[in-house]
Structures are given as C-alpha cells and as structure tokens.
Amino acid sequence: MPVVSDTTNSTLRDSFSVSLTVGTYGIAFGAASVASGFSVLQSCLLSLLTFSGASQFAVIGVIGAGGSALSGIATASLLGFRNGLYGVRMAPILKVKGIKRLLAAHITIDESTGVALMQEPRGENAIRLGFWATGWGVFLFWNIFTLAGALGAQAMGNPAAWGLDAAVPAAFLGLVWPRLDSPRTRILSVSAIACAIAFTPYLPAGLPIIATTFLALAFGLTQK
C-alpha cells in the first residue's frame, strides 16, 4: 500500500535529518572534551557509553572547569534524569524485554523520543520506527563526529563559527513545535521557557531544565 511506504519514508526522513544534524554536534563535543583535559579515548567512551549530549557536555564542562568528579557526575546525572522520564513514556509503546530493552534504554535520549512522539499521527509502528531509526542514527553520527572532533580539536575552530550552537536548539524547537497543538501545551511551553530562563542565574546548570518537570506535573494533574 503506497500510503504505508509514504509514512515509512516520512518517518525515516525525520530520523535522518535529526540524526545528521545532532550527530554533527558531536564534533563540538569531541573538541570541547579534549580541550577540557579528557583524552581522545575518554571522549569517545563518553559518547559510546553515556550517549546523552547534555550529560556529556555537563561532565566535561564541570571537570574541565576544575570541579570534582562527584560534582561532574551529579550534574550530568541530573541532566540524564530526563532520559528516565522518556523511558517511562516509551516503554509501553516499544513493549520490549531482555537484550532489546537494554538496547532501547541505551538509545533513549531527547532525539529518539522526540522524533518517535512526533510520529503519533502516523500510528504506533511509525512511533517505534522513529525511535529505533533516530536512536541508532544519532548513535552512529554522534560517535563518528565525536572521534573527528576529538582528533581535530587543535585544527578545528570554534563550532559557533559554523552556527552549530544555534542549530541544536533550533532542532529541539522543530521537535517540540508539532506538539504545541492546544492552548494548554502552548501555555506550558511558554511557562517552561520562562521558568528555565528565570532559574538559570540562580541554579546550577541543568537544574532549571529539571525544574520544569514540576510544571508538566501541575499542568497534567489539573487537566480534566
């Protein structure tokens, strides 16, 4: 049925766009990681094993700035907490056990969950396809570009010169945009933005983002 393959193609196109865009940012991570005093091997291991951009930037940022291992790990883990929330959201749709669940857990990040949930109008199969394709797509590009960035840290200039530091929030915005389909979600989005900005000067990096979980809680519990 052509409709099915159109849907599959649309989903895969979404996955690929996000994977390549976000994966490219691995250059910035690899470069920043080496510049923060981590070795090329350690930078690559962070991308392979932690595989969560914000957490990775947090741990190299804190330790690179002279912070303790514990404060680096704590900041990274606060940022990683949201991956757990994404898992809660994805598990009933993915319905996987054993090794597949281990693999699904590893690729449960902003992008895989974001693209997956964006597929909701296309049905459950599209959600699952979006999750796996984006998860492994980002994993592939993120690790390749981390290695490239780490190796080229000396030669590569500032990633800001390439506009990459704006492309990432633009990509997140593109992901959240289709979900702003009701007054409630729009008000929640604006409130979350205001809350994150308001807390940024007063809370350690990462916490202003986590704090908006309480907004989602308040909006969800008061919904009829």
User: Using CB under 8 A, which residues numbered 134 to 163 contact other proteins?
Assistant: 160-163
Nearer to other proteins, 4 or 186 (CB): 186
Question: What are residue 114's phi and psi, to 5 degrees?
Answer: -60, -50
Nearer to other proteins, 125 or 178 (CB): 178
Contacts of 93 (CB under 8 A, 6+ apart): 116, 124, 127, 128, 131
E strand segments, the chain = none
The single-letter code of the amino acid at 87 is G
Contact between 68 and other proteins per CB under 8 A: yes
Site residues for other proteins, 103-132, by CB under 8 A, read 104-106, 108, 110, 113-114, 117
The residue whose two tokens read 């690899």 is: 30
Question: What are residue 31's phi and psi, to 5 degrees?
Answer: -65, -45
Q: Residues touching other proteins: how many (CB under 8 A)?
A: 101
Minimal distance, residue 77 CB to other proteins, in Å: 4
At 182 the three-state DSSP class reads coil
Contact between 202 and other proteins per CB under 8 A: yes
Q: Find out whether 130 and 116 touch, Cβ atoms under 8 Å.
A: yes
Among 4, 69, 124, 125, binds other proteins (CB under 8 A): 69
Minimal distance, residue 140 CB to other proteins, in Å: 18
Among 29, 86, 132, 145, binds other proteins (CB under 8 A): 86
Contact between 8 and other proteins per CB under 8 A: no
Among 7, 83, 119, 146, binds other proteins (CB under 8 A): 83
Q: Which stretch binds other proteins (CB under 8 A): 1-9, 125-133, 141-149, 194-202?
A: 194-202
Convert 138-166 into a string of H (helix), E (strand) and C (coil): HHHHHHHHHHHHHHCCCCCCCHHHHCHHH
What is the rounded CA–CA span in Å between residue 128 and residue 27? 28
Contact between 217 and other proteins per CB under 8 A: yes
* Distance set, CA 84 to CA 4, 48, 87 (Å): 31, 18, 5
Q: Which stretch binds other proteins (CB under 8 A): 1-9, 97-105, 122-130, 144-152?
A: 97-105
